[in-house]
Amino acid sequence: MQILVTGGAGYIGSHTLVEIYKAGHTAVVVDNLSNSSKESLKRVAELCEVKEFPFYQLDIRDKETLAEMFVNHKFDACIHFAGLKAVGESVEKPWLYYENNINGTLVLIEMLEKHNCKNIIFSSSATVYGEPAEIPITEQCPKGVCTNPYSWTKSMLEQVLMDVQKADKEWNVVLLRYFNPIGAHKSGRIGENPNGIPNNLMPYITQVAIGKREKLNVFGNDYNTADGTGVRDYIHVVDLAKAHVCALQAIEKQCGLGVYNIGTGKGYSVLDVVKTFERVNDLKIPYTIKSRRPGDIAEYYCNPQKAEKELGWKAENDLEDMCRDSWNWQRNNPNGY
Ligand code: NAD
Ligand code: WQD
pLDDT, tens digit, for every residue of 183-198? 999 999 999 999 999 9
Answer whether residue 114 shows pLDDT above 90.
yes
Answer whether residue 106 shows pLDDT above 90.
yes
131 Cβ closer than 6 Å to some ligand 2 atom: no
CB 77 within 8 A of CB 119: yes
Give the whole-angstrom CA distance, residue 40 versus residue 147: 31
The residue whose CA is least distant from atom 35 of ligand 1 is: 123
For residues 211-225, average pLDDT: 98
Residue in 5, 123, 150 to alter for ligand 1 test, most ligand atoms within 8 A of Cβ: 123
Q: What is the CA radius of gyration of the chain?
A: 19
Task: Give 324's pLDDT tier (boundaries 50, 70, 90).
Answer: very high
Task: Give 52's pLDDT tier (boundaries 50, 70, 90).
Answer: confident
Task: Give 53's pLDDT tier (boundaries 50, 70, 90).
Answer: confident
Residue in 200, 274, 275, 326 to alter for ligand 2 test, most ligand atoms within 8 A of Cβ: 200
Taking the centre of ligand 2 as the mean of its atom positions, its distance from the CA of residue 151, in whole angstroms, is 13
Residues with CB under 6 A from ligand 1: 7, 9-13, 31-36, 59-61, 81-85, 100, 104, 123, 125, 178, 181
Locate the ligand 2 atom nearest the alpha carbon of residue 178 and give its number.
23
Q: 80 in helix, strand or coil?
A: strand
Q: Cis peptide before 136, with omega less than 30 degrees from 0?
A: yes
Taking the centre of ligand 1 as the mean of its atom positions, its distance from the CA of residue 10, in whole angstroms, is 6
Taking the centre of ligand 1 as the mean of its atom positions, its distance from the CA of residue 176, in whole angstroms, is 14
> For 262-300, what is each residue's pLDDT tens digit?
999 999 999 999 999 999 999 999 999 999 999 999 999
Q: Which pLDDT score is estimated for 200?
A: 97
Taking the centre of ligand 2 as the mean of its atom positions, its distance from the CA of residue 270, in whole angstroms, is 9
Locate the ligand 1 atom nearest the alpha carbon of residue 154 and give its number.
34
* Closest CA relative to residue 228, chosen from 238, 219, 215: 219
Locate the ligand 2 atom nearest the alpha carbon of residue 198 and give its number.
31
Query: Which ligand has the minimum distance to the alpha carbon of residue 204?
Result: 2
Task: Give 19's pLDDT tier (boundaries 50, 70, 90).
Answer: very high
Answer whether residue 131 shows pLDDT above 90.
yes
What is the pLDDT of the chain when averaged over all its residues?
A: 97
Task: Give 63's pLDDT tier (boundaries 50, 70, 90).
Answer: very high
Answer whether residue 165 shows pLDDT above 90.
yes
The residue whose CA is least distant from atom 13 of ligand 1 is: 82
> For 301-320, what is each residue's pLDDT tens digit?
999 999 999 999 999 999 99
Query: Which ligand has the minimum distance to the alpha carbon of residue 288?
Result: 2
Q: One-letter amino acid identity for 28?
A: V
Q: Which pLDDT score is estimated for 116?
A: 97
Catalytic residues, which ones? 150
Q: Which pLDDT score is estimated for 215?
A: 98
CB 9 within 8 A of CB 41: yes
CB 209 within 8 A of CB 286: no
Q: What is the pTM of this model?
A: 0.98
Task: Give 27's pLDDT tier (boundaries 50, 70, 90).
Answer: very high
Could you give the residue ranges of the DSSP H alpha helices within 210-299?
237-252, 270-281
Cβ burial of 280 (10 Å; 0-12, 13-18, 19+) is middle
Q: How far is CA 200 from CA 17, 130, 176, 204, in A?
A: 23, 18, 20, 6
SS (H, E, C) 21-34: HHCCCEEEEEECCC
Taking the centre of ligand 2 as the mean of its atom positions, its distance from the CA of residue 200, in whole angstroms, is 5
The residue whose CA is least distant from atom 27 of ligand 2 is: 200
Q: Which residues contact 189 (CB under 8 A, 6 or more apart)?
A: 43, 46, 47, 332
The residue whose CA is least distant from atom 7 of ligand 2 is: 127
Bridge-based pairing of strands 231-232 and 268-269 is antiparallel
Taking the centre of ligand 1 as the mean of its atom positions, its distance from the CA of residue 156, in whole angstroms, is 16
